[in-house]
């Protein structure tokens, strides 16, 4: 199972669109989950926010995170692009 982040399509598809996937999407407590940036541009830099995860913030292009409790968690990908 692969979870793909919500795609928000602007009217002008030449604008950058942030999108990502997580694998695996369902796992045991404290297992590692890898996130991959699927955005339509190559960003200058990225910041991932994983509230409740470890780590809670990552600047890696392909971060790995774990969660110590079962549940659903919000993940945010913020990327900086000066194109």
- Over range 42-62, report the average pLDDT: 92
Q: How far apart are the first and last CA of the chain?
A: 33
Count the residues in the chain. Answer: 83
pLDDT band at 65 (very low <50, low <70, confident <90, very high): very high
Residue 83: pLDDT band by 50, 70, 90 thresholds?
Answer: low
For the chain, the average pLDDT equals 81
For residue 15, the Cα-to-chain-centroid distance in whole angstroms is 19
Q: Does 41 score more than 50 pLDDT?
A: yes
pLDDT per position as a tens digit, 7-39: 445 555 566 777 888 998 878 888 999 999 888
Rounded to a whole number of angstroms, the CA Rg of the chain reads: 13
Q: Angle at Cα 61 formed by Cα 58 and Cα 66, nearest 5°?
A: 45
């Amino acid at each position: 199972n692969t979870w793909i982040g919500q795609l928000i399509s602007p009217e002008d598809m030449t604008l950058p669109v942030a999108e990502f996937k997580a694998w695996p999407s369902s796992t045991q407590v404290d297992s590692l989950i890898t996130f991959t940036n699927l955005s339509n541009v190559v960003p200058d830099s990225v910041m991932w926010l994983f509230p409740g995860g470890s780590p809670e913030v990552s600047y890696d292009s392909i971060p790995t995170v774990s969660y110590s409790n079962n549940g659903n968690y919000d993940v945010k990908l913020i990327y900086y692009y000066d194109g």
